[in-house]
Amino acid sequence: MTTSSNHSTPRINPIDIWKSPAHFVSFGFGSGLSPIMPGTMGSIAAIPIILLMHYLLTPAHYAVVTAMATLVGIWLCGHTAKALGTHDHGAIVWDEIAGMMVCCFLLPSFPAAILVAFIAFRVFDILKPYPISWLDKNIHGGLGIMIDDIAAGFFAWAVVQLCGWFLG
């Protein structure tokens, strides 16, 4: 990774992500390098993964894969943040991918449901209402990078499930 001498946040050379599988995954397969809204782009990158999981996995297996993605993500995001020399660089979006996986658990695979889940997740991830904001500010390292997005995923999941229950 290259750093800029006159900025406190390291500048990412896009070529560098291809050299490390861990960084490539942490950057959401490159989606986190988007110059605009990298977190949103990471959330969008999650959609094909989620659709594949819905079609190929039982709900129990979906839950296990999501838990594994979260646990591995703690190491991945922490490793990449440490390599960049910063806590939570904007290009690290594996946390958004895992948060979207949480949000879409037991969700029907039709486009309207995915869109509602995406919007709900982005709202919780961006606004960070309590306790998400507390988690974001007080937990550090790879766990700190992941935990607020996982919490946002759970809150969004609850909203989406309630909408589905009340609206049919």
Cβ atoms < 10 Å from Cβ of 146: 28
Closest to 74 in 3D by CA, of 51, 95, 57, 101: 95
> Residue 133: what pLDDT?
98
Please tell me the pTM assigned to this model.
0.90
pLDDT for 166: 84
Q: What are the residue boundaries of the structural domains of the chain, listed by start?
A: 14-167
Give me the pLDDT at residue 11, please: 59
pLDDT at 127: 98
pLDDT averaged per 10 residues, the chain (length 168): 44 71 94 95 98 97 98 96 89 97 93 95 98 97 98 97 85
Give the model's pLDDT for residue 10. Answer: 55
* Spatial separation of the C-alpha atoms in residues 147 and 79, rounded to whole Å: 15
